[in-house]
Amino acid sequence: MPEANLPKTYDPAGTEARWQQAWEASGAFHPDPGALGEPFSVVIPPPNVTGSLHMGHAFNTALIDTIVRFQRLRGRNVLCLPGTDHASIAVQTILEKQLNAGGQRKEDLGREAFLERAWEWKAGSGGTIVGQLRRLGYSVDWQRERFTLDAGCSAAVIEAFNRLHEQGLIYRGEYLVNWCPASGSAVSDLEVEMKEVDGHLWHFRYPLSAPATAAAAIGRTHLEVATTRPETLLGDTAVAVNPSDPRYAALVGQTLTLPLVGRQIPIVADEHVEAEFGTGCVKVTPAHDPNDFAIGQRHQLPLITVIAKDGTMNAAAGRFAGLDRFAARQAVVAAMEAEGCLVKVEPYRHSVPFSDRGKVPVEPLLSTQWFVQAEPLAARCREALANPSGAEPLFVPERWSKVYRDWLTDIRDWCISRQLWWGHRIPAWFVVSETGGAISDSTPYVVARDQAEAQAKAEAQFGTGTHAHPVVLEQDPDVLDTWFSSGLWPFSTLGWPGERAQGAPGGPEPADLARWYPTSVLVTGFDIIFFWVARMTMMASALMQDGEIPVGGRDTWMPFRDVYIHGLVRDENNRKMSKSAGNGIDPLLLIERYGADALRFALVREVAGAGQDIRLDYDRKSDTSATVEGARNFANKLWNATRFALMNLGGETPASLGEPEPAALQLADRWILSRLARVNQGTAERYTGYGLGEAAKGLYEFAWNEVCDWYLELIKRRLQDPAQQRTARQVLAKVLSELLVMLHPLMPHLSEELWHGLSGEAESTFLALQSWPALNEAALNDQLEASFAELIEAIRVVRNLRAVAGLKPSQSAPVRFLTVRSELAALLREATADITALTRAERVEVLSPEQAEAASSAKGNQRALAGVSGELQVLLPIEGLVDLDALRGRLEKDLAKAEKEIKGLAGRLANPNFAGKAPPAVVAECRANLAEAEAQAALARKRLADLG
RNA sequence: GCGCGAUUAGCUCAGCGGUAGAGCGCCUGCCUUACAAGCAGGAUGUCGCUGGUUCGAAACCGGCAUCGCGCACCA
């Protein structure tokens, strides 16, 4: 930053790029685990490699970076570790689309070639978001950047799978899973979204197999059932009624003949059925509905799958085989109608499970998958919350801990296998030599860390004695849920398992893991508490403790001490921003227009700390945002304040100027130094306690409304005076340079730039690596701050009177203050020169009431403009210039205000309970205020009377 | 159905027991050699409704309304 001829406006573009490059090239954010300083670590929520930067990332980044930059200034050994997530389904979808466009399917390429392409794609477009994150000025250690599918994370996944399997926490089995026909894979419960859909409720008649008996018992020959999914009828294996429903009690145990199919199906009694709903009879399709599956389990009903994995009807659907499930729905209804079994059709709004990714209804399907047994892991996490040991995760805001705990209660097992190619291939090998080459649900398998270990294990188990043939293995073709690897993120990225792999617990830990695990804080949006936060704590509960003792003897196995949950960024219409809704606001556009610092500051300033969503105002026609513009203006204000300093420090720096001599400090100096100390204290507290928005607001107000509006104005005169300028320069340099340090976490580029300009430090030295300014407690002075506020108010009153009088800013006028309080009079006298400068006073007089009394009879004084502030009366004794109507208006306004106040205060004091029960200090204050208001009213009346 | 949050100036939001605040927008006047992305001055509110607690409620408690979110879900 050149010292002379600075442009009048700050141009972020060049500045930001320059510092980003300098920081990264210097390794400023690449910490040494052996370095001094208490460790502070954060792993960033890894964005999806397919993604591009959206406002949510920008928000999350702004918060994390503010925190870690602050901790760095505080002298902690900070690691902030970035990375991306491989996003199985998303990447595979992109690639398959590309293939399809060329008329190919992935099967034509084969797995290996397909994966090669995937890695090529990742090398090319996969880095987009990482480049974009850099543009925010993210102070992460790019040298430690990780990817959930890199060698280290893959080793962690294999190790984790093996250990969980050894602990009996991973199992393989055939269950009803959420099947996404669009992606051709199972998905977990969390990846299913219930959506309200307008559908129909079809009422069908199922004839009883023994109509005569039934007719005798209940007077009819059939039962009526209702369904929203007629196609599943083909897989029905029962009809259920409530056991205490008197209408059907006699029929339980009898059978029905399933229309279209002819199968004999029993009538069972099950508590799940609500007698009040519909006819009280439910068709049961255990292979295609989770509730029915449960009923089926309770009654040992057969499972008949009629829908295939591609969403079409299978052979078991008979004449409907081959039809798409939705076409089959119409066909079944038509067939039922033809058979006279359709009773009626009603429009019906109900919830349908949709696949998050595929955007099609999921099909509950019976299939063999791998699962993580969730309850034992969840139990440990719940316990950690319920028995606070100081090591449990602290949620900010606290209410989210309940959301987290509730989800961990009554948790269901987690389906982790995906029928995809891009991802971590499941480290399980089928012993196909046992089955003649085929893989079926019953094929034996071994879980191992690699092929060789699998071979050894399998040979030990199957290759001996009776088995004549050699053991042949085939690895499970499926991959793991991406969230499985994300769940290991806080330790896999730090080097776990390192040498502890290969089942050798007790080996040395990677230095990073030893130094930085557990991480200090996790910062993320509430929308992924279940997906990610809970999965990380569950994984850690199983993997990061050896028996009772956490790995490495740490105080906790929890992957983070604090969990700072923030809201979502919503659009100007309060809608969640999403790609599909097309209402996203491109952060890059805002960065280009206003600068990354402005965007960051705007986002952080909007967040109050309650974890509330933030609504970002935005004008889509012009791509502008008033909120971000305001932050940009603030950046410009700081730029100009520094510019002013550079023009007035005489080429000196904060270091060369040194600390000011206490005895030489003037009123304004002592005031701003007190304010500086207070802001230092408050800001550090807020940064530490996740009050980031408040920190930002506090600094904004201090910088703009105190330093710029008052202090800079007050010292302009002294800076021109060689006899007085040194102290003013010293204080100015100190205030500004410390302000820049405090602002650095929020506006890193601008503060870095201005700090260099001010300090003259070499480009290789960084503000980012300086120390938080020492708190000067001796400078704190409540009394002084209160007095100064009175002075400011006095000046405001004068300015207001001048405006009322219609004085031009260039015109000067005399100012006269009247007060009974001697301290106030003294203050005003001390500040006479300041008042003169800031009010264009011709002369400033400070009179005692006695003097004022004498003066009031003097000529012209009756016609003075009068204003009141507290115990201070302000007069502008100007003749000839006064607009009498304006003057009267001003006085009437003062009077009305005072009278309103008197009414309120007198009313309160008149209440005997108030004086009796309120704290004495409050009562005293009330009395004082009343006296003041009465004095004000009296003055205003007198002046009005003088006017005639 | 269960739970959570929000409701304060035209807009976006602070305030969370002691007489209503900020930014933007609006009105008036200023290119005052740091800044017009600025400066000075000004106007603007039955603090969603309703009971209660209290000397005192925007704030605390109960109910209601509206909006939003999460979880569960009956075919």
Residue pLDDT, tens place only, A191-236: 999 988 889 999 999 999 988 877 777 778 899 999 999 999 999 9
Closest C1' nucleotide to A351's CA: B73
pLDDT score, position A466: 60
pLDDT score, position A214: 73
B55 C1' to A937 CA distance, Å: 26
B75 C1' to A282 CA distance, Å: 5
B62 C1' to A278 CA distance, Å: 38
Phi-psi region of A313 (alpha: psi -120 to 50; beta: other; left: phi over 0): beta
B31 C1' to A436 CA distance, Å: 91
Q: Starting from the edge strand earliest in sequence, which strands make up the sheet with A192-207, in order?
A: A222-227, A192-207, A342-355
Closest C1' nucleotide to A612's CA: B5
Closest C1' nucleotide to A289's CA: B75
B20 C1' to A904 CA distance, Å: 15
CB A748 within 8 A of CB A70: no
Residues whose CB falls within 8 Å of the CB of residue A893, separated by 6 or more in sequence, listed in order: none
Closest C1' nucleotide to A240's CA: B75
CATH of domain A627-780: 1.10.730.10
Q: How confident is the model at residue A598 (pLDDT cuts 50, 70, 90)?
A: very high
Q: How confident is the model at residue A338 (pLDDT cuts 50, 70, 90)?
A: very high
Q: How confident is the model at residue A4 (pLDDT cuts 50, 70, 90)?
A: low
Residues whose CB falls within 8 Å of the CB of residue A447, separated by 6 or more in sequence, listed in order: A161, A162, A165, A170, A427, A428, A429, A454
ipTM surpassing 0.85: yes
Closest C1' nucleotide to A693's CA: B14
Determine the Cα–Cα distance for residues A84 and A533; give it in Å rounded to an integer. 16
pLDDT digits (tens, 9 = 90+) for A629-645: 999 999 999 999 999 99
pLDDT score, position A913: 85
Which nucleotides of strand B lie within 7 A of protein CB?
3-6, 11-16, 18-19, 22-25, 28-30, 32, 34-43, 54-56, 67-75
Closest C1' nucleotide to A929's CA: B19
For residue A729, pLDDT beyond 90? yes
pLDDT score, position A505: 55
B1 C1' to A45 CA distance, Å: 34
pLDDT score, position A1: 47
CB A843 within 8 A of CB A815: yes
DSSP annotation string for A309-360:
TTSBB-GGGGGGTTSBHHHHHHHHHHHHHHTT-EEEEEEEEEEEEEETTT-S
For residue A555, pLDDT beyond 80? no
Residue nearest to nucleotide B25 (CA to C1'): A626
Q: How confident is the model at residue A2 (pLDDT cuts 50, 70, 90)?
A: very low
Residue nearest to nucleotide B18 (CA to C1'): A922
Residue nearest to nucleotide B37 (CA to C1'): A633
Residue nearest to nucleotide B34 (CA to C1'): A644
B48 C1' to A180 CA distance, Å: 44
Q: What is the mean pLDDT of chain A?
A: 90
Q: How confident is the model at residue A697 (pLDDT cuts 50, 70, 90)?
A: very high
Spans of all domains in chain A: 31-168+376-425+478-566, 189-364, 627-780, 784-863, 884-947
For residue A480, pLDDT beyond 50? yes
Question: The domain A189-364 is classified under which CATH number: 3.40.980.10, 3.40.50.12780, 3.90.740.10, 3.40.50.720?
Answer: 3.90.740.10
B27 C1' to A788 CA distance, Å: 30
B55 C1' to A916 CA distance, Å: 7
Closest C1' nucleotide to A901's CA: B19
CATH 3.40.50 fits A884-947, yes or no: no
Closest C1' nucleotide to A292's CA: B75
Tell me the two tokens of residue A197. 């859909």
Residue nearest to nucleotide B28 (CA to C1'): A803
Residue nearest to nucleotide B6 (CA to C1'): A612
Closest C1' nucleotide to A800's CA: B41
B37 C1' to A1 CA distance, Å: 20
Residue nearest to nucleotide B42 (CA to C1'): A800
B51 C1' to A907 CA distance, Å: 25
pLDDT score, position A874: 87
Residues whose CB falls within 8 Å of the CB of residue A789, separated by 6 or more in sequence, listed in order: none
CB neighbour class for A590 (10 Å; exposed up to 12, middle 13-18, buried from 19): buried
| Lowest-confidence pick of A171-185, A491-505, A659-673, A905-919 | A491-505
Closest C1' nucleotide to A802's CA: B41
Closest C1' nucleotide to A279's CA: B75
B21 C1' to A444 CA distance, Å: 71
CATH architecture observed for domain A31-168+376-425+478-566: 3-Layer(aba) Sandwich (3.40)
Q: pLDDT > 90: what percent of chain A?
A: 70
pLDDT digits (tens, 9 = 90+) for A272-298: 999 888 899 999 999 999 999 999 999
pLDDT digits (tens, 9 = 90+) for A812-855: 889 999 888 889 999 999 999 999 999 999 899 998 877 876 76
Report the amino acid identity of residue A29.
F
Residue A497: is the preceding peptide bond cis (ω within 30°)?
A: yes
Residue A361: is the preceding peptide bond cis (ω within 30°)?
A: no
For residue A501, pLDDT beyond 60? no
Closest C1' nucleotide to A809's CA: B30
B66 C1' to A347 CA distance, Å: 28
CB A885 within 8 A of CB A819: no
CB A527 within 8 A of CB A578: no
B43 C1' to A713 CA distance, Å: 27
B29 C1' to A470 CA distance, Å: 97
pLDDT score, position A941: 84
Phi-psi region of A152 (alpha: psi -120 to 50; beta: other; left: phi over 0): alpha
CB A492 within 8 A of CB A152: yes
Residue nearest to nucleotide B67 (CA to C1'): A574
Q: Identify the CA nearest to A413 among candidates A486, A311, A492, A481.
A: A481
